[in-house]
Amino acid sequence: MTIKIEPVPWCDEAAVGLSRALGDDLRVMRDEVESNRAQLWKVHGYGFLVTRIESDCNGKTLVLVAAEGRGIDAITPVLIDVAKANGIGFLRVHSARKGMGRILKKHGYRYLETVYLLEVSGNG
């Protein structure tokens, strides 16, 4: 099955679909997409995802910021094609889902880090 993916402008349908993945950051991500610092994609048959491109001394990395629902296993080859077509050398995924590592490892991803957060301000 061929998966069709296309960049789209921010829309209410995406906001509804990505609300669980983004939580309180939904408004921030909308601003990122609308200011072209991130890209919203419609993945037909799966929903929406948000990416951004970062650069460092290793080159460019396509970062999967958020995705709606399930399907990363099927979508990863499409993201690889998008990265290659745009001269991007790496893909990176941040996820709070414990089982995500098993899925991504099948595609060659390697574990990088664990991140911890401590709230010190009391302001949320």
Residue 75: CB partners within 8 Å, gap ≥ 6?
3, 5, 43, 46, 49, 67
Structural domain span for residue 88: 5-105
Residue 123 lies in a domain: no
pLDDT of residue 49: 94
Would you say 18 and 29 are in contact if contact means Cβ atoms under 8 Å apart? yes
3-state secondary structure of 108: coil
pLDDT in tens, 27-63: 999 999 999 999 999 999 899 999 999 999 989 999 9
Residue 60: CB partners within 8 Å, gap ≥ 6?
53, 54, 86, 87, 88, 89, 90
* Global confidence as pTM: 0.85
pLDDT of residue 124: 57
Residue 38 lies in a domain: yes
Q: In CATH, what number is assigned to the domain containing residue 41?
A: 3.40.630.30
Q: How confident is the model at residue 123 (pLDDT cuts 50, 70, 90)?
A: low
Number of domains in the chain: 1
